[in-house]
Amino acid sequence: MSLPAKVMEIIYDTKYQHPRPLYYAALKADSILEIGIREGYSTTSFLCGLRDGKQGHLWSIDWGRDPKTPKTADIIQRSEMAEYFTWIKRDVRLIPESWFKAHSMDIIFPDLNDLPPTVILQNCLLLMHKGSKMFLLDVNRISEKEMFIANLDLDLYSYEIKPIQSGMAIITKEADG
Ligand SMILES: C[S@@+](CC[C@H](N)C(=O)[O-])C[C@H]1O[C@@H](n2cnc3c(N)ncnc32)[C@H](O)[C@@H]1O
């Protein structure tokens, strides 16, 4: 299947390598949570995948302090992608554990520029059901992410590391529990 023009633009105009796998994953998803919008490379890839796939929904948490984020959200909200998109404008650290326990997502993509506190990654696990996938960038570069992966319960989760952008981990929940 050929990639949509928007995703092609992102792939060829930037140094980033994550849009393509995120687009393909989104084709099969009903519900996606990403944490971190900024220029919206991942946001756009997910939205194209949702539109071309099952017409599911993307919730994007970002506190909006980088001026690129409200600009990206505004462009999306005025586009044909708007119906698939909700911006949750908050500091992710202030979203309580109970929120993560109460929701379930097919795909989770925590992508903060700073080192994400381990609690965020642990909270992201609470969103996962059997078959959910979590994508993590730069796992070979950021020791806290390596530690998080090394400590996963392998009865419940499997993972693979793709050799892009200092390592992209794809964690899959294999069993309920
Ligand atoms: C690396 S960028 C996201 C890039 C985007 N996922 C992409 O692929 O183009 C990280 C974003 O997370 C936001 N951010 C950083 N810390 C945050 C926090 N504690 N809560 C919410 N958003 C945060 C930043 O302002 C920035 O917009």
Instruction: Specify the residue with its C-alpha closest to ligand 1, atom 3.
Output: 36
Question: What predicted TM-score, i.e. pTM, was given to this entire model?
Answer: 0.95
Q: How far is the CA of 35 from the centre of ligand 1 (A)?
A: 6
Give the pLDDT score at 142.
86
Instruction: Specify the residue with its C-alpha closest to ligand 1, atom 22.
Output: 62
Give pLDDT tens digits for 74-128. 999 989 899 999 999 999 999 999 999 999 999 999 999 776 778 899 999 999 9
Domains of the chain as residue ranges with CATH: 5-173 (3.40.50.150)
Q: Which residues pair with 170 in a beta bridge?
A: 135, 160
Is the distance from CB of 138 to CB of 166 less than 8 angstroms? yes
Helix residue ranges per DSSP H, the chain: 5-13, 19-26, 41-52, 68-77, 97-102, 118-126, 143-150
